[in-house]
């Protein structure tokens, strides 16, 4: 990782602040939240076509981050509004793939505003937000654990258990027809205690740049404990 990316930490979740006339998308890292973009609502909320286009623009904004492997999404909206639930209803109606299956995302809602840096800074410091992040990412890592266990029990799927093996697999181009890397999982404890932190950070950056889903998992979670048993870092290949 570059010095800048190291200071912000590793990706944790996506925060969506939905207001009456716009939505603000934020990338939540372990050290800071960074704004991705602001999406306007072109039309009134009672205009079904305008609302549909608005929610689709949010989904499209989420796609790149979801492809990177971050599948914890927090939706913030002000009290006495139904903005967050309306978006979730849109997902249920038009994007069921986001809510079910092994690769589903986990969506949670919180009351508050997340439209400006000041609002996000205040929101992310609250005990309610920290608890929600913990709960949401725990659900997400349960999905990762399910994927991991399936791969471990499938003899034809490649699972690598060391930094050296993961580097060889991810940093080198695999021949046509050979398995390709799909997931890189490591615990936050492994990352913090590694004596070769630069190598780990470089691998994470290259993996993310190459479309490998990269997730740092809390060591105390169920999935984190399993990854710790396997050495703290695991790389999974795409099934053929």
Region 154-237: CATH code = 3.30.1330.30
d(CA 152, CA 160): 10
Q: At residue 3, does pLDDT exceed 50? A: no
Is the four-CA dihedral 224, 213, 93, 111 of positive or negative sign?
positive
CATH 3.30.420.60 fits 3-141, yes or no: yes
| DSSP secondary structure letter of residue 149 | H
Q: Is 192 left (phi over 0), alpha (psi -120 to 50) or beta?
A: alpha
Q: For the chain, give the mean pLDDT.
A: 90
Residue 42's φ and ψ, nearest 5 degrees, are -90, 85
User: Which residues make Cβ contacts (< 8 Å) with residue 193, sequence separation at least 6?
Assistant: none
Per-residue pLDDT tens for 10-68?
889 999 999 999 999 999 998 889 999 999 999 888 899 999 999 999 999 999 988 88
Evaluate whether 3-141 and 154-237 have a shared fold: no
* Ranges 130-139, 162-171, 182-191: which has the least confidence: 130-139
Nearest to 190 by CA among 140, 235, 138: 235
Ordered by start, the domain boundaries in the chain are 3-141, 154-237
d(CA 121, CA 86): 25
Q: At residue 229, does pLDDT exceed 90? A: yes
């Amino acid at each position: 990782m570059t010095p800048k990316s190291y200071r912000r930490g590793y990706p944790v979740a996506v925060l969506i602040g939905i207001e009456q006339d716009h939505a603000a998308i934020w990338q939540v890292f372990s050290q800071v939240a960074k704004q991705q973009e602001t999406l306007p609502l072109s039309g009134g909320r009672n205009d079904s076509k305008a609302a549909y286009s608005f929610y689709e623009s949010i989904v499209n904004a989420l796609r790149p981050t979801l492809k990177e492997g971050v599948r914890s999404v927090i939706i913030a909206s002000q009290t006495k509004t139904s903005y967050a639930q309306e978006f979730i209803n849109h997902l249920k109606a038009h994007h069921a793939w986001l809510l079910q299956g092994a690769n589903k995302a986990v969506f949670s809602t919180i009351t508050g505003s997340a439209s400006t840096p000041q609002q996000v800074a205040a929101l992310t410091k609250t005990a309610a937000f920290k608890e929600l992040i913990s709960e949401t990412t725990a659900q997400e890592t349960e999905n990762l654990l399910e994927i991991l266990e399936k791969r471990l029990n499938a003899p034809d799927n490649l699972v690598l258990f060391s930094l050296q093996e993961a580097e060889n697999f991810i940093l080198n181009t695999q021949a046509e027809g050979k398995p390709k890397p799909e997931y890189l999982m490591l615990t936050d404890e492994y990352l913090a205690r590694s004596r070769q932190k630069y190598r780990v950070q470089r691998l994470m950056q290259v993996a993310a740049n190459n479309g490998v889903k990269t997730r740092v998992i809390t060591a105390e979670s169920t999935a984190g404990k399993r990854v710790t048993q396997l050495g703290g870092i695991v790389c999974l290949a795409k099934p053929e």
